[in-house]
Chain A
Amino acid sequence: MKCFKVILFFVLFVVTLHSYSQKYEFGIKYSPLLISKITFDKKYIIYNDFGSTIAGDNKFHLYFTGISLGLFYKEYFNKINYFQAEINFNGNNFGNQIPDWASSRKKNFTYSTIDIPLLIGITLNRGRKIKLNLFGGINNKFGRFITTFYSSFSYLINDNMNNEYYYADKKRKRELINKFKFYYVNPIIGLSISKFGSSIALSFEKNIYNLNKVKYDYNANFKDLYLIRISLLHKIQNKNNILK
């Protein structure tokens, strides 16, 4: 319920800004590349099935996050300063972070979040065709959506005609995903280069708050989260009263 209040506040905030706007842009955002790292506070992750894995390899890994798609709204205060709000459905991939899964066929320690970044930006080179922008703000992350789907075709019937399966990695990945808090806020900074209606952005975010739904004394908890995203933004609608 608290999350819905927060979302409602953001929506009302953006709508209010929009009603006073002189110049705004509205468009789509696609973030196909992610460099991520997550660290843990203990050496081993212990799972409910009594197994364990080494907790993180402390390295950055590059992933293709084809599922990451969103919308952005950019509101110019003047010619160089702007406010940007986004709503993105972003993939968060950490599969290669667990070294024990290196040989596993399935490494989908992947979950998706609804990200609502609220950013303030500044154009560094005013008047140029290719604009360089610096931005920063907060990223509100909601949810733990499983975007790895399980096909009904893969269900087999065993000799006992029982539909009961056990695949530890799958359960373990879900267990790890469910350890994340449903809502948390990360500070975010980035750089973007834009020309006409399109831009490419590089953003970096790291948690400053606790990521864990529950903190365990004897099990590995999430510690530091680093997400570096490369995104493409494309304007599909705009209004410009400032420059006229």
Chain B
Amino acid sequence: MKFIVIEILILIVIVSCKREENILVKNYYSAGVIKSEVINMYADSAELKIDFFILDKTNNDENTKQNILNKITFDTTDFEISIDSLCNTITNYEGPFSTGILLTEGLEDIVNMEKYFIYEEPVIRKIIHTSTPTNEILLSKVVNNKLSLEIINNGFTQNSYSLDQPLADICKNAYYTASDTLPILNALDSLINYMSLNAKNNKKNIMLFCSRRLNFNQNINLQTLINKAKQSNIKIDLIELTPNFTWRNFKLERFIYKLNALTNGMLYETPYTFDYMAEDGELPMDMIQVAGKVNEINNGNFNCFELNLKIKNKNENFISDSLYNFSFDIKISTNYETKYINVPVYFIKN
């Protein structure tokens, strides 16, 4: 009898040992633009220089060592594009940066945006933790019309851990339906002012994370804001977590992308928004991969590709001060698979 009891207990214990499954890591590559410069622009043609990266997980998240010559195809009907040259290059050393992170809360429409803040939090935290202590960083958010900008803690810091709890608090409470008018331009203006006065480094950038919002306050002249950013030596970097769904207000979208292109800011648009099972704790690997390189991209001496292009506008003449865009696909091949990575490019005659 005693032995039967012991045997039953042992059986229950063995059955109680649970098993967990592992989930596949995907998306080994992420590609984005470090900066795109218009070298020359004529009536119906332009010469463009694009610095871009292809981060490769098999190469410790460094720029891929694969030969991508003859593997670039352009995805556009508006332009006729030819490659002038393609080479590996190392960007100029820029030194330490003062980085301001500006984010917005609330969603005008939650469709396809359910995971936005779940993705945003680890991306921003990785930027913060990898940027410091070499660079100083500031976390801020757009609030409301009375107080357009809220700066978290005491402004710039080199202690990344001090922003952990506030960031979690913002992202965990940011998911709500919002129909109010977003003072994002006022917040940008205030942040540029604050950074001009308080940043200790000459090199400055703002990383903008804008959730899907429709109404925004338009009481600031866009050109004035662009000039202010350029005069303050501030570039606007974008990591787009939900491209095609973020922007409900296309006027705001065009302005933000214009600001990004005119200040030679970095741009990454993830093609994998819906690839991850956030509910099972899967993290957006490609976005986090890029986030971990933001500091190196900004500080310079970064290994990347330089692409020189000749572009002919098939439909109309180029208009100065207008924003144009196209994208190109890079065919990445390994022994086991072939993958096409899309890189969107925005350019404007400065």
A193 sits at the interface (CB 8 A): no
B26 / chain A contacts, CB cutoff of 8 Å = 158
Whether A51 pairs with B283 at a CB distance below 8 angstroms is: yes
A67 to B17 CA separation, bound complex (whole angstroms): 7
A241 sits at the interface (CB 8 A): no
Whether A28 pairs with B5 at a CB distance below 8 angstroms is: yes
Whether B280 pairs with A106 at a CB distance below 8 angstroms is: yes
Which residues of A in the span 157-202 have a Cβ within 8 Å of any Cβ on B?
158-162, 164-170, 172
B145 sits at the interface (CB 8 A): no
A156 to B21 CA separation, bound complex (whole angstroms): 10
A50-B129, A218-B165 in contact; A69/B9 too (CB < 8 A)?
A: yes
Q: Is the interface of A mostly helix, strand, loop or mixed?
A: loop
A104 / chain B contacts, CB cutoff of 8 Å = 279-281
Interface string of B41-85 (1 = CB under 8 A from A): 000000000000000011000000000000000000000000000
Nearest-Cβ distance from residue A63 to partner chain B, whole angstroms: 11
A169 to B126 CA separation, bound complex (whole angstroms): 18
A234 / chain B contacts, CB cutoff of 8 Å = 2, 5
A42-B165, A66-B12, A234-B5 in contact; A161/B336 too (CB < 8 A)?
A: yes
A20 sits at the interface (CB 8 A): no
For A29, the closest partner residue in chain B by CB is B9
Whether B23 pairs with A165 at a CB distance below 8 angstroms is: yes
A129 to B164 CA separation, bound complex (whole angstroms): 60
A162 to B279 CA separation, bound complex (whole angstroms): 24
A44 sits at the interface (CB 8 A): yes
Contact check: which of A103, A164, A168, A236 meets B283 at CB < 8 Å?
A168
A169 / chain B contacts, CB cutoff of 8 Å = 280-281
Nearest-Cβ distance from residue A197 to partner chain B, whole angstroms: 10
Whether A158 pairs with B24 at a CB distance below 8 angstroms is: yes
Which residues of B in the span 2-48 have a Cβ within 8 Å of any Cβ on A?
2, 5-6, 9-10, 12-13, 15-26, 28
A44-B172, A50-B125 in contact; A151/B19 too (CB < 8 A)?
A: yes
For B125, the closest partner residue in chain A by CB is A50
A125 sits at the interface (CB 8 A): no
For A151, the closest partner residue in chain B by CB is B19
A155 sits at the interface (CB 8 A): yes
- How many contacts between A and B, using CB within 8 angstroms? 144
A54 sits at the interface (CB 8 A): yes
A244 sits at the interface (CB 8 A): no
Q: Is the interface of B mostly helix, strand, loop or mixed?
A: helix
A216 / chain B contacts, CB cutoff of 8 Å = 161
A51-B121, A52-B121, A160-B58 in contact; A44/B283 too (CB < 8 A)?
A: no
Which residues of B in the span 107-132 have a Cβ within 8 Å of any Cβ on A?
121-123, 125-126, 129
A219 to B12 CA separation, bound complex (whole angstroms): 37
Contact check: which of A64, A149, A218 meets B17 at CB < 8 Å?
A149
A116 to B79 CA separation, bound complex (whole angstroms): 76
Nearest-Cβ distance from residue A115 to partner chain B, whole angstroms: 15
A91 sits at the interface (CB 8 A): yes
Interface string of A102-127 (1 = CB under 8 A from B): 01111010100000000000000000
B336 / chain A contacts, CB cutoff of 8 Å = 159-161
A216 to B283 CA separation, bound complex (whole angstroms): 24
For B160, the closest partner residue in chain A by CB is A218
A142 / chain B contacts, CB cutoff of 8 Å = none
For A216, the closest partner residue in chain B by CB is B161
B154 sits at the interface (CB 8 A): no
For B5, the closest partner residue in chain A by CB is A234
Whether B122 pairs with A49 at a CB distance below 8 angstroms is: yes
B5 / chain A contacts, CB cutoff of 8 Å = 28, 234
B249 sits at the interface (CB 8 A): no
Whether B16 pairs with A66 at a CB distance below 8 angstroms is: yes
Contact check: which of B25, B58, B121 meets A166 at CB < 8 Å?
B25
Contact check: which of A28, A167, A217, A236 meets B23 at CB < 8 Å?
A167
Whether A160 pairs with B172 at a CB distance below 8 angstroms is: no
B330 sits at the interface (CB 8 A): no
Contact check: which of B2, B161, B283 meets A218 at CB < 8 Å?
B161
Whether B20 pairs with A147 at a CB distance below 8 angstroms is: no
Whether A166 pairs with B285 at a CB distance below 8 angstroms is: yes
Interface string of B86-107 (1 = CB under 8 A from A): 0000000000000000000000
A65 / chain B contacts, CB cutoff of 8 Å = 16
Nearest-Cβ distance from residue B324 to partner chain A, whole angstroms: 35
Nearest-Cβ distance from residue B335 to partner chain A, whole angstroms: 8
A19 sits at the interface (CB 8 A): no
A159 to B13 CA separation, bound complex (whole angstroms): 37
Nearest-Cβ distance from residue A157 to partner chain B, whole angstroms: 9
A4 sits at the interface (CB 8 A): no
Residues of B within 8 A of A (CB): 2, 5-6, 9-10, 12-13, 15-26, 28, 57-58, 121-123, 125-126, 129, 161-162, 164-165, 167-169, 171-172, 279-283, 285, 288, 291, 334-337
Question: Other CB < 8 Å A-B pairs besides A51-B121, A52-B164, 19 of them?
Answer: A28-B6, A30-B9, A30-B12, A43-B169, A46-B168, A51-B125, A66-B15, A69-B13, A101-B281, A104-B279, A104-B280, A148-B18, A154-B19, A159-B336, A165-B25, A167-B20, A167-B21, A168-B283, A234-B2
- Top 3 nearest A-B pairs (CB, nearest first) are A66-B16, A169-B281, A168-B281
Report 23 cross-chain contacts, Cβ distance below 8 Å, ordered by A residue. Answer: A43-B168, A46-B165, A52-B168, A66-B15, A69-B10, A101-B281, A104-B279, A106-B20, A106-B21, A147-B16, A148-B20, A149-B18, A156-B24, A158-B26, A159-B336, A160-B336, A164-B25, A165-B23, A165-B24, A167-B21, A168-B283, A170-B20, A218-B165
